[in-house]
Amino acid sequence: MTLKALLLAAVLAAPVAAQPLRADQTAFRDLYKELMETNTTLSAGSCTLAAERLGTRLQAAGYTAADITLFATPEHPKEGGIVAILHGSDRKAKAILLLGHLDVVEARREDWTRDPFKLIEENGFFYGRGTFDDKSQAAIWTDTLIRYKTAGKTPRRTVKLALTCGEETTNAFNGADWLARNKPDLIAAEYAINEGGGGRYDQAGKPMGQGVQVGEKTVQNFKLEATNPGGHSSVPRPDNAITDLARAMVAVNTHEFPVQFNDTTRAFFGLMAKASPPQLGTAITALLANPQDTAANAIVSQDPSFHSTLRTTCVTTLVEAGHANNALAQRATANVNCRMFPGTDPESVRATLSSVIGNPKMAITLTPPIRPVAVSPPLNPAVLGPMQALAKKHFPGVPFGVTMSTGATDAIFLSPIGIPTYGAPGLFIDPDGNGMHGLNERIRIKSLLQGRDYLDELVHTLAD
């Protein structure tokens, strides 16, 4: 377990799973179950169907057809989504956008212990593909809008909900990107609340710490390509496409990009300096003072999570070479996956890779899709303050901080249209990652229900 995950020790709130469900929790479970059991994989599922089912529930709660926009394109009829609007009383106040995605990672029944597209309750967990990523939050956001309407409440600010498809598949149609490009006014907001934040349990299920995601890296893939005339394998030649590619991959995989900080990572490492053992804490403090301190960098970067948070990283992930067992390769290619520190131009990374490889014959190209350059949102106290205050209420004694994701979410598409996006806390993950993107995905029932209560009150607080 990394120190980034630890944050600090904490107390465990009273278990919710063992308690009888409240009436509102029972209704939420029904909504969650329907969403979970609607297959939304790219290969065999339909986000459009999931969006339509949620739209039906919203209309049953009192939303009009004008409040709900179901969207899909002719080229991608099953990859649609939904935007729903709860109008506020103050039309001059800027809206809040609740963002989530409906699509899930592929899951084959023969690989899973349980049916991945049935909501199965077992030993205090809900099992199924998407139980955590991201149908938990999608269901919570929808449930919050339903509860607002059925209670007859009108928030001061308008609250918008956008649930899209395509977040989990790099080359698929992406609904958040489509909305930002084609319907920016529909989702216009002062800021958005998204996935990406959250907390961490220990092995016993006790919460150890949680945080809000304030910023993320940009994902960019690069293609390395070495070519050669080739020939018969019985007559090797000094120039060889596979050898050239191998040398390039070693150079890329062992290259260290420089240490960088922004407001989010400075705040995060400031907390880590206080929470870490003396040697590590001293090294973090030194690195904050001087990012070029190589000795401090060596100590702090021993933690893989810290290492990635401090810099741009690039690593080879796919390799393909040759055309026959008895022939010299005429072509050898590799995919290099880079996670670029916010504000980094991908062309500058390409130039760095070219310099590191040092072979002018090696072609280096950006591989589509080329995403926008990540821009970290500000540490806005109007957003972060209520998050922290409510975290103390719902999760007393659990440390709270800010983090920058080394991964990526659909938030990347909102910053170009002026919507800073924050990954909300509230849901807690187990040390093993709960099977997200893997086998037997699950979420603790107490995490889902406690997180729902927290996120619902958070939306009410921010909107009012």
The strands making up 442-444's β-sheet, listed across from edge to edge, are: 120-122, 125-127, 442-444
* Structural domain ending residue among the three candidates 312, 347, 367: 367
Same domain, residue pair 117 and 262: no
Residues 356 and 378 occupy one common structural domain: no
The pLDDT profile of the chain, 464 residues, written as one tens digit per residue, is 333 443 333 333 333 345 789 999 999 999 999 999 999 999 999 999 999 999 999 999 999 999 999 999 999 999 999 999 999 999 899 999 999 999 999 999 999 999 999 999 999 999 999 999 999 999 999 999 999 999 999 999 999 999 999 999 988 999 999 999 999 999 999 999 999 999 999 989 999 999 999 999 999 999 999 999 999 999 999 999 999 999 999 999 999 999 999 999 999 999 999 989 999 999 999 999 999 999 999 999 999 999 999 999 999 999 999 999 999 999 999 999 999 999 999 999 999 999 999 999 999 999 999 999 999 999 999 999 999 999 999 999 999 999 999 988 999 999 999 999 999 999 999 999 999 999 999 999 999 999 999 999 999 999 99
CATH number reported for the structural domain that contains residue 88 in this entry: 3.40.630.10
- 207 and 261 fall within a common domain: no
Q: Please return the burial class of 299, using the count of CB atoms within 10 Å of its CB with bins 0-12, 13-18 and 19+.
A: middle
Q: Using an 8 Å Cβ cutoff, are 404 and 310 in contact? A: no
Claim to verify: residue 66 and residue 175 sit in the same structural domain = yes
3-class SS string, the chain: CCHHHHCCCCCCCCCCCCCCCCHHHHHHHHHHHHHHCCCCCCCCCCHHHHHHHHHHHHHHCCCCHHHEEEEEECCEEEEEEEEEEECCCCCCCCCEEEEEECCCCCCCHHHCCCCCCCCEEECCEEECCCCCCCHHHHHHHHHHHHHHHHCCCCCCCCEEEEEECCCCCCCCCCHHHHHHHHCHHHHCCCEEEECCCEEEECCCCCEEEEEEEEEECEEEEEEEEEECCCEECCCCCCCCHHHHHHHHHHHHHHCCCCCCCCHHHHHHHHHHHHHCCHHHHHHHHHHHHCCCCHHHHHHHCCCHHHHHHCCCEEEEEEEEECCCCCEECCEEEEEEEEEECCCCCHHHHHHHHHHHHCCCCCEEEEECCCCCCCCCCCCCHHHHHHHHHHHHHHCCCCCEEEEEECCCCHHHHCHHHCCCEEECCCCEECCCHHHCCCCCCEEEHHHHHHHHHHHHHHHHHHHC
Considering the domain architecture, whether residues 62 and 188 belong to the same structural domain is answered as: yes
Beta-ladder partners of 191: 96
Residue whose C-alpha is closest to residue 198's, from 418, 368, 36, 434:
434
Nearest to 100 by CA among 65, 54, 43, 39: 54
* 199 and 235 belong to one structural domain: no
Q: Quote the number of domains for the chain.
A: 2
Residues of the domain holding 75: 3-216+374-463
272 shares its domain with 338: yes
- Are residue 31 and residue 115 in the same domain, yes or no? yes
Q: Identify whether residues 358 and 383 lie together within a single domain.
A: no
We report the CATH number of the domain holding residue 265 as 3.30.70.360
Same domain, 194 and 230: no
- The domain boundary, picked from 367, 396, 426, lies at 367
Query: Do residues 405 and 363 share a domain?
Result: no
313 plus 212 within the same structural domain? no
End of a domain among 318, 335, 367?
A: 367
